[in-house]
Amino acid sequence: MQTREDSAHHPRTAHDIFFYGVIWAFVGTLYAALFMPVFEVVRNVWPLWTAPICAAVVATAGGALVYSSSQLALLVAIFSNFAVFGYLLYSGEFASPWAPTLVGAGIGAIVGVLYGLGVKESRIYSADAKLMAGLVAGTAVSVVSLVWILVFNASVTILVAVLAPLTGLLYVNIVDDFIRRFSDVFPAFVDGAIAGAVIGAFIGFGLWVMGGIVLQRIAPEWESTVAVIAESTPLAVAEASVSTGVLGMLYGAIRSKF
């Protein structure tokens, strides 16, 4: 028969395990949402072998900054959305993703600088360390993605479902060491500029993709790329959120005290 103390302990453990699963599922969603558009755009302009490497590195490093700088991400989203949306409507520059991406990055960098100067109690101080950890983890898993694409010629969406939990597991095991070693490399306003520019770039790029899907004003050479992004990203997000959420619950179970 269970004691009252044991009965009270198990619900808390189950809650912790579920919490880990939800958080990791969100990370998998973010990873897939970044990976697929970058993969398809890079594949359209550079040789195929560069696409999985760029996508894995950008998705890991960018996801680390977005997830770890949530307050700044919200601020950048507000200002960059207005700026990029206004730019796209005014200029009609849906021909390529580069201009809206740069506009978003520029606005994000400005917001990040102001945030780093004005907000003293913030995790933005460790943005450079998290970016480095993300670059290392992304580069490591990019080898898996390169072999998957070039050797096995397998589904990209399934690849993302494999890479997302693998990347998350590697990242969480190295990021604390990077934070201890590299958190003071740059002042806070530089960290803010880096994080803000990356977040703003993703917003600008995402608005270009959505504008092309909704308004159908993409240049002919980008039409097939945007169509593939629109078709494949929801499936990749669903698969990655499930695989990463399951791993998150296993990770939480291992860390919990039974």
Q: State pTM to two decimals.
A: 0.84
Structure confidence at residue 97 as a pLDDT band (50, 70, 90): confident
What local confidence, expressed as pLDDT, does residue 14 receive? 78
Q: Do the Cβ atoms of 117 and 189 come closer than 8 Å?
A: yes
Q: Do the Cβ atoms of 108 and 199 come closer than 8 Å?
A: yes
Using CA atoms, how far apart are residues 129 and 7, in angstroms rounded to an integer?
41
Nearest to 29 by CA among 146, 124, 168, 135: 168
Domain ranges of the chain: 10-255
What local confidence, expressed as pLDDT, does residue 120 receive? 62
Structure confidence at residue 252 as a pLDDT band (50, 70, 90): confident
Q: Do the Cβ atoms of 73 and 66 come closer than 8 Å?
A: yes
Asked if pLDDT for residue 175 goes beyond 50, the answer is yes
Using CA atoms, how far apart are residues 136 and 134, in angstroms rounded to an integer?
5
Question: Looking at residues 151-177, what average pLDDT do you find?
Answer: 90
What local confidence, expressed as pLDDT, does residue 123 receive? 61
What local confidence, expressed as pLDDT, does residue 76 receive? 93
pLDDT-above-90 percentage for the chain: 39
Using CA atoms, how far apart are residues 180 and 72, in angstroms rounded to an integer?
22
